[in-house]
Amino acid sequence: MCHQLNDKLRVIMKAQGSLKSLWRWFVLSGLLLGFLSFFYFRLYQYMSLSSLKQYRDVLLQWTGIHYCLTVMIFISLYLLAVTFSIPGIGSLTLLGGYLFGLAGTFYSYFSALIGSSLLFFAIRSTLGDWIAAHARGWVKKMEKGFQENAFNYVLSLRLIPAFPFWVVNIVSALLDVSFKAFISATAIGIVPGVIVYTMVGNSLHTVFQENHTADISMMLKPAVLLPMIGLSLLALLPVIYHARQKARRKKRTT
What's the distance, Cα to Cα, between the start and end of the chain in Å?
Answer: 59
Q: Is the pLDDT of residue 12 over 60?
A: no
Q: How far apart are CA 128 and CA 121, in angstroms?
A: 9
Angle separating helix axes 191-209 and 179-189, nearest 10 degrees? 30
Dihedral of alpha carbons 60, 88, 230, 142, sign: positive
Closest CA to 166 of 73, 23, 35, 28: 35
Tens-place pLDDT, residues 97-128 = 999 999 999 999 999 999 999 999 999 988 87
Tens-place pLDDT, residues 26-57 = 899 999 999 999 999 999 899 888 899 899 99
pLDDT of residue 234: 61
Going from N- to C-terminal start, the domains of the chain cover 1-41, 45-253
Q: What angle do CA 135, 169, 188 make, to 5 degrees?
A: 125
What's CA 155's distance to the chain center, in Å?
Answer: 12
pTM: 0.80
What's CA 24's distance to the chain center, in Å?
Answer: 20
- Could you tell me if 202 and 97 are in contact, meaning their C-beta atoms sit under 8 angstroms apart? yes
Assign 190 to helix, strand or coil. Answer: coil
What's CA 129's distance to the chain center, in Å?
Answer: 21
Average pLDDT, the chain: 81
Q: Is the pLDDT of residue 67 over 90?
A: yes
pLDDT of residue 224: 55
Higher pLDDT pick, 79 / 221: 79
Sequence-ordered list of residues with C-beta below 8 angstroms from that of 93, at least 6 positions apart, any chain: 104, 108, 112, 193, 194, 197, 198, 201
Query: Residue 225 is which amino acid?
Result: L
Closest CA to 78 of 39, 110, 123, 102: 110
- Could you tell me if 159 and 231 are in contact, meaning their C-beta atoms sit under 8 angstroms apart? yes
Q: Is the pLDDT of residue 138 over 50?
A: no
Please report, for residues 81, 139, 140, 192, 213, the alpha-carbon distance to residue 31 in angstroms, rounded to integers and kept in the order given: 11, 24, 26, 28, 35
- Could you tell me if 79 and 118 are in contact, meaning their C-beta atoms sit under 8 angstroms apart? yes
Closest CA to 158 of 174, 149, 147, 169: 169
